Structure 1
Amino acid sequence: MMKLLKLIQNENMKLYKRLGTWVMIGLVVFAVLAVGVFSAFIMESDDNANWKERLQLENTQLQKQLESSPLKGAGETYVKKQVAINNYRIEHDIPPVDSKSLWGFMIDATNFTGLIALFTIVVAGGMVASEFSWGTIKLLLIRPVSRTKIILSKYISTILFAFFSLVLLFGFSFIVGSIFFGVGGADQPYLVYNNGEVLEKSMVMHIINLFGFNSIDLLMMVTLAFMISTVFRSSSLAIGISIFLLFTGPQLIQLLSTYDWVKYVLFANTNLQQYTNGVPLVEGMTMTFSVTVLIVYFIVFTSLTWFVFKKRDVAA
């Protein structure tokens, strides 16, 4: 265990000594700050003065839609959920979350997990391939440490970078949101619709859940990039393919969602929020099914990474 910890420490030292690593971290900070400035001083505020009338009008339109063209399955569930939540807000005087508020800003900041996924893919793509391109892999493997621990330390270091970036994003978005929008309304609850009943939940836990859900895609894409980097020893190939799939995968799945077989594709299962929103991509898909599919893909990616690195002829 101590050898593994030493290897992880060594990988982190190499990672954070690179200028590019700090440039990526700086870009995350700059992006959050820039959006904060834009939201506070340029973007117009949500019109929450007549929010009750707006929600009543929305409910009327939803009810007409339901009556004129009866929806089934996920569509009907979504409409009922929205109407129930709107009515609960009106009855209990709970306005929708304003984008120019602490919680509204932090919810918007969760979109930056895509930027973190992009940067972590760059790190993962070069974590193993760079050792071969720089010729340092032989120096690494002559140590009295198993190849399993070496590849594991590199993967753990990559995941730690992603985790550090997520914590930074969460903390810095809270600081920026507090400075620009204050902490007024910090006790505002998050409303969920469950079994025909509207419940009040913690807004902080909701935001943490958003970060968690968005991290699923990050984890799978980083693991894929790490596998490609190890198998093909090419950082450009690993980064290129992973970034391409990161941005086009979900769109392709949406286009193919009419086919039943698409539910077995990785990108159809990375968005677990489809179950909390009550609108699964393919009818019949469940949270358990998607988690099982993700576990299978994860095992395949990591097993292939370990097998190839274990058997790799360094002299080749």
Structure 2
Amino acid sequence: MLNIIRFIQNENMKIYKRIGTWVMVGVLILTVVIGGLVTKYMMNVYETEDWQLALQTENQQLTDQIAQLNDMEMGSAAQPLHHQISINEYRITNNVPPVESGTLWGFMMTVPDFTALASVFVIVIGAGIVAGEFSTGTIKLLLIRPVNRFKILLSKYIATLLFAVVLLALLFLSSFAVGRILFGFGGGQLPYLVYNGEEVVERSMITQIMSFYAFNSIDLVMMVTFAFMISTVFRSGSMAIGLSLFLMFTGGQVVQLFNQYDWVKYILFTHTNLSQYNNGTPIVEGMTMSYSIMMLCIYFILFIGISFITFQKRDVVA
């Protein structure tokens, strides 16, 4: 156990001594700052006091879109629009104004979308943490130590995940700081509304923000694990980065394109967005959260298993 801790510390030192790592951190913080400035000065959707009228107008637009989708025999794609109409009607009936984008909590609800950028950075680290040892020849120095290959690879994987945790924490804290400076401390008393499949329910704002981070982290962990596997198997950081980013940005679109087919239930990207159950609108009708969690576990075990088996069995002479 002590050896693994020392190896994790060593891997962390390698990560944070790189200039590129601090460039990633700077870019992430700068993105949050720019997002805050854009939100404050360009995206105040409900600035007028008559937010009820704005929601009524939005509902009429959504109704028109639903009619168009029905005419195109794409009724299933209209389901989220029906849910949004229900949420808007709930707000009007119960006098629950929307959480404006120009508030601290409204801004913080949008920042979890930036986890895609954090995912890119962690994929770069995960793709190079093994392949880089082979390209520089330092893998030999690791293997002459009295530590088995399993512990070496495990320490690299844990260090990669710890870097992901650092970026997510940085994203949360920087969004809070930027939001507090730009918008003050408002909006937290309002509930977050979701349609759970049967009715509109109210949820705590901070709880919902944390759930956004948790749900978005699933895709991050799976794609980083995939990049780690490709890096370990093929010893190529560029291949790991290229494949991982390609799948991360196209996987969801492929699922949406073919979601009418039953075989889509076995594709990884059908399950990485667990918020589909939180919102009551699963991508494939009839799927459950327990099934998606099971599929995620299967893919995770597959990626990790291939990584560790390959690293331990294959000749690793650089």
* Contact 1:74–1:278, Cα closer than 8 Å, also in 2: no
- Answering whether residue 112 of structure 2 is matched by residue 128 of structure 1, we say no
* Contact 1:48–1:98, Cα closer than 8 Å, also in 2: no
Tell me whether 140-149 or 226-235 shows the greater mean CA deviation.
Answer: 140-149
Aligned to 2:37: 37
Aligned to 2:201: 199
- Answering whether residue 178 of structure 2 is matched by residue 181 of structure 1, we say no
- Unmatched 5+ residue regions in structure 2? none
Q: CA deviation at 1:92?
A: 3.0
Q: CA deviation at 1:245?
A: 0.9
Amino acid at match of 2:38: F
Residue of structure 1 aligned with 2:312, choices 306, 310, 313:
310
Aligned to 2:6: 6
* Contact 1:77–1:278, Cα closer than 8 Å, also in 2: no
RMSD: 2.4
1:57-106 per-position Cα deviation (integer Å, ceiling 9, x unaligned): 44566678889969999668646643443233223321112111112211
* Contact 2:126–2:227, Cα closer than 8 Å, also in 1: yes
Pairing of 1:69-218 with structure 2 (within 5 A): 78=80, 81-194=83-196, 196-218=198-220
TM-score normalised by structure 1 residue count: 0.92
Q: CA deviation at 1:310?
A: 0.7
Aligned to 1:260: 262
* Contact 1:48–1:95, Cα closer than 8 Å, also in 2: no
Residue of structure 2 aligned with 1:298, choices 297, 300, 311:
300
Amino acid at match of 1:199: V
* Contact 1:274–1:280, Cα closer than 8 Å, also in 2: yes
1:227-248 per-position Cα deviation (integer Å, ceiling 9, x unaligned): 0000001111111111111111
- Count of residues in correspondence between the two structures: 316
Q: CA deviation at 1:218?
A: 0.6
SS of corresponding position for 1:128: helix
CA distance in 2, matches of 1:143, 1:64: 68
- Answering whether residue 51 of structure 2 is matched by residue 51 of structure 1, we say yes
1:146-165 per-position Cα deviation (integer Å, ceiling 9, x unaligned): 11111000000000001110
Residue of structure 2 aligned with 1:283, choices 282, 285, 288:
285
- How high is the sequence identity, in percent, across the aligned residues? 54
CA distance in 2, matches of 1:92, 1:223: 45
Amino acid at match of 1:40: K
Aligned to 2:235: 233
Tell me whether 142-151 or 223-232 shows the greater mean CA deviation.
Answer: 142-151
- Unmatched 5+ residue regions in structure 1? none
1:273-307 per-position Cα deviation (integer Å, ceiling 9, x unaligned): 11222222222221111111111000000000000
Amino acid at match of 2:263: W
Q: CA deviation at 1:139?
A: 0.5
